[in-house]
Amino acid sequence: MNALGIDIGGSAIKGAPVDTRNGKLLAERHRIEVDAGTSPAAMAKAVGALAAHFKWEGPVGVGFPGVIQGGTIWTSANLHPGFIGCDGARLFGKATGCPVAMINDAAAAAVAEMRFGAGKGFMGKALLITLGTGIGTCLAYQGVVVPLELGHFPWKRGKDAEKYCSAAVRDKKELSWEEWGGRLSDFLVELERLLWPEMIVVGGGVSAKHEKFFPHLKVRAALKPARFLNQAGIAGAAMWATEAR
């Protein structure tokens, strides 16, 4: 079955039709620029334009960087605060004229990676982490994906961990790979102490440069770069659209 997968982020929304039987994108992904201040109404317009670009009629999955329960968005740490409490399924359903299933962005990436990517066939406990503006986290065990919010773990001086070691922090503070890798390593070691994953899958755009920072990550779990790189969110959101119950 085919579905349209959409990944909402702080600088752009990206989407493509996906063959949900294998996670493959059926067309080149389309990108529409937005920013952290884009209102829910303006975001809905962009989502509508994305679906229109593909003349899409059918199921749509939307990955959003916040807590999702059912179709409702409950947090919006790096996007407009107007999303908090908003029924995303309804908002984006109206904008696209299609049935919409909502999922946390990191959970979408985890669905794709566990089914067809770096975690394919792995049934043990895996931690998936996406590094971007924020830090997205998810556990997978026996193939079941559980969204988490560990990017907001109180870390150095009580600040959210994502304010200390996200990919955006590396850019903003112009940290070397070693410095940033060290920060990320401390955080991952703490998560390991609490969660004991056997495998850690690292996604987000920066995972394309994993050779630069994996050597600095002193974790005991098997470290794997995400196979889908920055397309996992699109593929997983589409898969979710056909599987959510």
Residues that bind ligand BGC (CB under 6 A): 65-67, 75, 77-78, 104-106, 130, 132, 134-136, 149, 151, 162
Nearer to ligand BGC, 28 or 33 (CB): 33
Q: How far is the CB of 158 from ligand BGC (least distance, A)?
A: 16
Nearer to ligand BGC, 121 or 154 (CB): 154
Asked if 31 contacts 86 with a C-beta cutoff of 8 angstroms, the reply is: no
Asked if 36 contacts 10 with a C-beta cutoff of 8 angstroms, the reply is: yes
Asked if 198 contacts 227 with a C-beta cutoff of 8 angstroms, the reply is: no
> Helices marked H in 54-165 — which ranges?
88-96, 105-116, 162-165
Q: How far is the CB of 241 from ligand BGC (least distance, A)?
A: 18
Asked if 170 contacts 130 with a C-beta cutoff of 8 angstroms, the reply is: no
Place of tokens 């908003």: 86
Nearer to ligand BGC, 136 or 197 (CB): 136
Nearer to ligand BGC, 89 or 98 (CB): 89
Q: How far is the CB of 132 from ligand BGC (least distance, A)?
A: 6
Q: How big is the CA angle at 115 (ends 113 and 118), to the nearest 5 degrees? A: 40
Q: How far is the CB of 131 from ligand BGC (least distance, A)?
A: 9
